[in-house]
Amino acid sequence: MITTLESTIKFNSKPVTYIPALGFSALTPFFDSFQKWGAKEGTFKPKLIAHAGIQKNFEVLDLGCGTGTLTILVKKSQPLADVIGIDIDPNVLSLAKEKTANAKVHITFDLGTAFNLPYPDNFFDRVVSSLVFHHLTRENKLRALKEVRRVLKANGEIHIADLGKPQNILMRLPSVVMRRLEETEDNVKGLLPQMLNIAGFNEIEETSKLMTIFGTVSLYKGLKIS
């Protein structure tokens, strides 16, 4: 198994390790250009938002918001929704706040970890998340999904865009590497729907998939019934 470079932050004096947006903190300022060029974010992020069906007065969380690209798109798609972005990396949150000020929209950004969310039960109507679950170990993916379920209201939905099972021979090439990383292995084996199921979600669907240079990016949906 290949190991990845991790950073560490303390929450309540306990160290928590994480993988920054591009693996190395020094590369974080280049993340947006990389995303546009390599991950086709201009295609899958609007699609994710359309699938989420965000309405006015919805409470929406962008889990692992990074530099806030998806968070800002969510807010612009429905200016009357309350939108919060959370990320574990203070450096990436500084970039998100700067971009949000330039975009002249109001978004709250919180520092925190996906598997210990600082929000009450039954609070959000939608949780969206893009390219974050492949940064988490299997154990933390499950912890994060259970936390998302806890903070969602009944009939609330999670919408995830992340690495998925390769849909053709071309997409199997990048997956050869991805399968060897602990955090990405379950993604490329197509196990996120099973994990959503274990975490208690219903009506789980892979709603879309597209080819990128990192491999297949799949969009998934899960519903919290009650």
Binding stretches for ligand SAM (CB under 6 A):
18-21, 35, 64-67, 69-70, 87-89, 92, 113-114, 130-132, 135-136
CB nearer to ligand SAM: pick between 66 and 222: 66
Q: Element (H or E) spanning 159, and its range? A: strand 152-163
Least separation, in Å, of the C-beta of 226 and ligand SAM?
26
Q: Whose CB is nearest to ligand SAM? A: 66
Q: How far is the CB of 63 from ligand SAM (least distance, A)?
A: 7
Nearer CB in complex with ligand SAM: 37/202: 37
Measured from the CB atom, is 18 or 123 closer to ligand SAM? Answer: 18
CB of 106 to ligand SAM, least distance (A): 19
Cβ contact 219:161 at 8 Å: yes
Quote the tokens at residue 116: 């210990």
In the complex, what is the shortest distance from the CB of residue 7 to ligand SAM, in angstroms, rounded to a whole number? 8
Sorted by sequence, the CB contacts under 8 Å of residue 40 that are 6+ apart come out as 210, 212, 217
Cβ(219)–Cβ(208) below 8 Å: yes
Distance CA 166, CA 147 (A): 28
> Which of 21/107 has CB closer to ligand SAM?
21
Query: At 61, is the secondary structure helix, strand, or coil?
Result: strand
